[in-house]
Structure 1
Amino acid sequence: METTPANLPELLYIHDPLCGWCYGMSPNINQLQQDFAGRVDVSVLCGGMVTGEDVGPIAETWDYLKQALGDVERTTGVEFGAAFRELGAAGEYTYNSEPPSRAITAFRQITQDPARTVAFAHAVQAALFRDGQDLNNPTAYNELLLPFGVDVVEFQRRWAAPETARATQQEFAAVARIGVEGLPTAIVRIGEQGYVLARGYQPYQQLRAGLEQLLQQEGA
């Protein structure tokens, strides 16, 4: 009987649900997760990009965001949907990282499965950037949960629970302590050592080559 090796190297993907460049990077992380299955564990953390005083109507940043969308699309190959562009142009949507990050926290708590949480985190991004969903509304997540087989009632209970909100804030604080300078960031932990694999978006082949080199260098 084969056993999975304990203490695999970990790829820590630090992103934010409202980060357009992260939306472009997430498919590459999902691909890495598939290609390095059994060699590297992949998990995702939320960075809390838009919190506190930065929370407000999307109208406040839409001119900047609108300009950035084209750059992200050209560089990464992802597409921002017409529904998201309409949401931005209308200007009323409240841009706030906490509710979708709390959804990812709740999903992780229920499934206890970091690998599936990476896929769910990208589904959350697509719900906003492709489909123009309101990530501040808890019912927006119900359909996203279906492919993962997660109970909607349990998810909604967790999403609304004060302890989930606290855990999300603790995650933001943990990312701040790591000293991440921008999102997305990918860090590889091998034993007690941490290595920055990517600061900002990187194409898949570059990520793959960098990760392979790190693993060989550390004999992992």
Structure 2
Amino acid sequence: MRKTLYYIYDPLCGWCYGAGGAVQALADSTDIALQMLPSGLFSGEGARPMSEDFAAYAWSNDQRIEQLTGQRFTERYRHEVLTDNQQMFDSAPATLALTAVALTARSREGHALKAIQQARYVDGLDITQPGTLASLLHALGLEDAAKLLAQPDASLIAANSARIAQAQALLAQFGARGVPAFIVEMNGHRQLMSSNAALSNPQTFVDQLAAA
């Protein structure tokens, strides 16, 4: 029987960016159904202003992620994003954009997340701005999602809230601390997977999941 993997993430989570290789490998697997859920970790009460201390902490953490996973964090990101004290550390806009993708082109959510992450960590763009996010969606050919994001309606807001609620319920159920979190389901049974291999060796992670 085909397995379902719930991938719980936040678009502003550097470790989720680091797990991008594993997520791509999972998306390419025909034996595993990937269901992505945003956690809302850095939105709402989890959002915060960008400060010098937080920027220094983030950059230090980013260097650890790059060393472990090989994912790039550029100097442009460091100077254009982390030193911008006017820019909030708030994943709510990007989360809403990804929900718009999930509603209009569900199979493309992983691609959209990757593009948003690269826009921030490589290109140094401000992905807390709806205009930036809409441009990214247009560039991916996700016109319906871009239109939905430009004029969010009640159905988009409700779907976004429901996805976050489902993610948080799963995190609470398994006592998972933070994201990325991976929960595999088969025959009605769910199991929390360690994310260590997802960060250091994506193919090993996929193999572990296949054997779970």
How does the TM-score come out when normalised to structure 2?
Answer: 0.86
Q: Please show how residues 58-77 of structure 1 align to structure 2 within 5 Å.
A: 58-59=50-51, 61-77=54-70
For the pair 1:28 / 2:47, whether they are aligned, the reply is: no
**2:37–2:166: 8 Å Cα contact kept in structure 1?**
no
Q: Give a deviation string over 1:160-199, Cα, whole Å, max 9, x none.
A: 3242233222222221111232210111111311122234
> In the aligned structure 1, how far is the partner of 2:195 from the partner of 2:151?
33
Q: Which one of 1, 11, 18 corresponds to residue 17 of structure 1?
A: 11
- Give how far 1:57 is off: 1.7
For the pair 1:191 / 2:191, whether they are aligned, the reply is: no
User: Which ranges in structure 2 are unaligned for 5 or more consecutive residues?
Assistant: none
Q: Which one of 204, 207, 219 corresponds to residue 205 of structure 2?
A: 207
Q: Secondary structure at the match of 2:35?
A: strand
**2:115–2:136: 8 Å Cα contact kept in structure 1?**
yes
Q: Please show how residues 138-157 of structure 1 align to structure 2 within 5 Å.
A: 138-146=130-138, 148-151=140-143, 155-157=146-148
For the pair 1:92 / 2:86, whether they are aligned, the reply is: yes
- Alignment coverage as a number of residue pairs: 203
Q: Give a deviation string over 1:81-138, Cα, whole Å, max 9, x none.
A: 2221012023321111111000000011111x2x321121121111111112122222
User: Which ranges in structure 1 are unaligned for 5 or more consecutive residues?
Assistant: 1-6, 215-220
Instruction: Kindly report the root-mean-square deviation, in angstroms, between the aligned alpha carbons of the 2 structures.
Output: 2.1
- Give how far 1:40 is off: 1.3
Q: Give a deviation string over 1:69-89, Cα, whole Å, max 9, x none.
A: 110000010011222101202
In structure 1, what is the equivalent of residue 41 of structure 2? 49
> In the aligned structure 1, how far is the partner of 2:69 from the partner of 2:14?
10
> In the aligned structure 2, how far is the partner of 1:160 from the partner of 1:58?
27
**2:87–2:128: 8 Å Cα contact kept in structure 1?**
no
**1:27–1:122: 8 Å Cα contact kept in structure 2?**
no
For the pair 1:40 / 2:32, whether they are aligned, the reply is: yes
- Give how far 1:147 is off: 5.5
- Rg (Cα) greater in structure: 1
How does the TM-score come out when normalised to structure 1?
Answer: 0.83
**2:38–2:163: 8 Å Cα contact kept in structure 1?**
yes
